[in-house]
Amino acid sequence: MSKTAVTTVVLLLLTCAPGTRPQSASPLYFSYDKDSFTATGSWVPADTTKTISSVHSETEIDCFKNDLSCVEATAEFYSDHPHVTLNYFQVLRWDNDGIIASDPSRICMTIAVQISFAEQRISSTYSAKQLDDKKKEACKFFGAEKTEEDIFILKNSERWTKEHAFIIPKKSAK
């Protein structure tokens, strides 16, 4: 992905400040064709007993079949300051059913992203790597010690709207 494309993604994410929302109901942010995929939303733990971060964030995932890659851009606000992270994934499979992409470059974990076109579902699995004891202890210190799964909540889905109700201003009756 070019620098210009990454910059555009980052700028688009940063313009979506908490508390802003289009006046009319928007469609779900999940789109694909034979050459590209895009989705906007936020990651939450699949394990419902885990607490969800109080930090407001929005993530956009874009995948490109021509170079078998995906880029994930996340914009978050900490103490009223924007922070952006970018993650890159190599596409392992892309067919009519969906996409499987992976980032094995992390020291402690391998991340695999699964995208189902039919279900409009995205999940991410963090799998622990085989490590020597010293690295295993370091990873444990940072909380990267066991397999975990996150699910992607699509922007404007029923769950997104419910979980963001506290930051979306109510329309006044006229």
pLDDT bucket at 54, cuts 50 / 70 / 90: low
pLDDT surpassing 80 at residue 123:
yes
* Amino acid sitting at position 80: D
Nearest to 9 by CA among 105, 66, 103, 87: 87
Burial label, 63 (beta-carbon count in 10 A; 0-12, 13-18, 19+): buried
Highest mean pLDDT among 18-22, 88-92, 107-111: 88-92
- What's the predicted TM-score (pTM) here? 0.75
Is a pLDDT exceeding 80 seen at residue 169?
no
Using left for φ > 0, alpha for ψ between -120 and 50, and beta otherwise, residue 51 falls in beta
Give me the pLDDT at residue 82, please: 87
Q: At residue 91, does pLDDT exceed 90?
A: yes
**SS3 assignment, position 69:** strand
Residue ranges and CATH numbers for the domains of the chain are 3-163 (2.40.160)
- State whether the Cα torsion 98-117-47-113 is positive or negative: positive
Q: What average pLDDT does the segment 16-43 reach?
A: 73
E strand residue ranges, the chain: 30-32, 36-45, 57-64, 69-78, 81-94, 98-103, 109-116, 121-128, 148-154
Q: With beta carbons less than 8 A apart as the criterion, state whether 9 and 74 touch.
A: no
Percent of the chain, pLDDT > 90? 44
